Structure 1
Amino acid sequence: MLVSKVSPRSIEAMDDYRDLVAAAFGLACAGVMLVAGELYLEHRAMHAEVRQVQPSVEKAQGSRVASSGKDAKSDAPS
């Protein structure tokens, strides 16, 4: 049976300057990606095409159906 022994050195904290440099590089890359993503989203929002919905023919002429479902003209007193 193979038993792997873990050396005490591999369990220790970041004692080598290369570990600190690698961690700092990773944080710097993550920061650059976050800033670039935020700038992209702001640019896309500012230059987005605003689309307006054209009113339908019924709304342009005025709705003739009252909220109760009856014809609005028949509700008026004669």
Structure 2
Amino acid sequence: MPVTYIPPEQRKGILESPILQMAMQQRMQQQERQFRERELKLKEQEMPVKNLIQMGNLAKSLSDLGLDPRVILGTKA
């Protein structure tokens, strides 16, 4: 696509054009959507780690009470 020189006095009108405004708005929406998707993926990756930490804390609490956490949590055959 050829590049066309636009004199500075005509550039202001280009930024106000409805087509460019719509294109910029769509780009912003796309960036927001991508940001939300990345944020959701990161949260999904955090959940198993948090669950393991909670399980570890629960197992330690049960051990502190003198109980075998493997029996209580169903992980001992």
Higher relative contact order (CA 8 A, sep 6+): 2
Structure with greater helix share of residues: 2
Larger-gyration structure (1/2): 1
